[in-house]
Amino acid sequence: MREIVFDTETTGLDPASGDRMVEIGCIELVNRIATGNHFHAYFNPQRTMPFEAERVHGLGDAFLADKPLFSVRVLELLEFIGDSPLVAHNAQFDFGFLNHELGLCSHPAVGLDRMIDTLVLARRRHPGAKHSLDALCSRYGIDRSHRVMHGALLDAELLAQVYVELTGGRQIGFSLGADIGSHNGSADLEPQISLVAAGTRVVRVPRPHQASEAEIARHKSFVETLNSPLWSN
């Protein structure tokens, strides 16, 4: 199964108020394993970058001035994501900006039925805990020491590792059965990785666990050699 883990950086929080996407990073997973294929792009938002947003991701007006418009690279992006499920953290936010940009250049929106929200999965699996990307990396021992500021490709790479852990980690092929959520976090995801090849398991004859008469006799003889055992008091 092919899935795309992605993240975006923007000029703010609300595309309806004029905020724009300035970066997108996408990581390809096949059967929950990163293939090394990715899509990454910066975009000129055609507006000034608010200080509060630049402080989060470090993408200022000077850096973005010579970057292409979203419409210039939209076909590359759509070809990369194809019809695969799309994984994001707090996915409503990223889907909102992605679909807003698609609408501005007259492309159909990406259906929300393709959405897999790792925030929903994290809240279900770890109720009451912190669910930020940093917190989940710490929980699963994922190295984020190089994450000084937010960046779409770096965050997508980290999220891909978090997603694998949230959906079974290294145990995903054992079919041990937890409800790990569907695209909207409401149904089971079928395990995709088989860690044991069919026909390779060796079945041993069950060991007899009942003591033989000879073993019982030896045990009795041993007990008789004990000096004042506690159970005889």
What pTM value is reported for the model?
0.72
Confidence of residue 204 (pLDDT cuts 50, 70, 90): low
In a domain, 199, yes or no: no
Is 93 a domain residue?
Answer: yes
Give which of 178, 174, 201, 202 is closest to 189, Cα–Cα.
Answer: 178
CATH number at residue 94: 3.30.420.10
Question: How far is Cα 121 from Cα 163, in angstroms, rounded to an integer?
Answer: 9
174 Cβ contact list (under 8 Å, min separation 6): 191, 195
pLDDT of residue 150: 86
CA distance 208 to 122: 45
Report if residue 167 sits inside a domain: yes
Establish if 141 belongs to a structural domain.
yes
pLDDT above 90 for 147 = no
194 Cβ neighbours under 8 A, 6+ residues apart? 173
Mean of pLDDT values over 180-195: 39
Active centre residues (catalytic): 150
Strand order across the 33-42 sheet? 33-42, 21-30, 2-10, 86-88, 115-117
Written as one letter, the residue type at 54 is: E
Domain count, the chain: 1
Give domain status of residue 122, yes or no: yes
Structural domain containing residue 122: 2-174
Binding site feature residues for a divalent metal cation: 7, 9, 155
Q: Write the pLDDT tens digit of every residue in 92-144.
A: 999 999 999 999 999 999 999 999 999 999 999 999 999 999 999 999 999 98
Q: How do residues 11-48 score in pLDDT, each as one tens digit? A: 999 999 999 999 999 999 999 999 999 999 999 999 99
CA distance 132 to 163: 13
Contact 46, 53 (CB under 8 A): no
Residue 230 lies in a domain: no
Q: With beta carbons less than 8 A apart as the criterion, state whether 94 and 13 touch.
A: no
Q: CA–CA separation, 89 vs 117, rounded Å?
A: 6
pLDDT at 199 over 50: no
**pLDDT at 183 > cutoff 80:** no
The C-alpha atoms of residue 80 and residue 37 are separated, in whole angstroms, by 9
Kindly state whether residue 152 falls inside one of the protein's structural domains. yes
User: Is residue 73's pLDDT more than 70?
Assistant: yes
H/E element, 39? strand 33-42
Annotated binding-site residues read 7, 9, 52, 57, 155
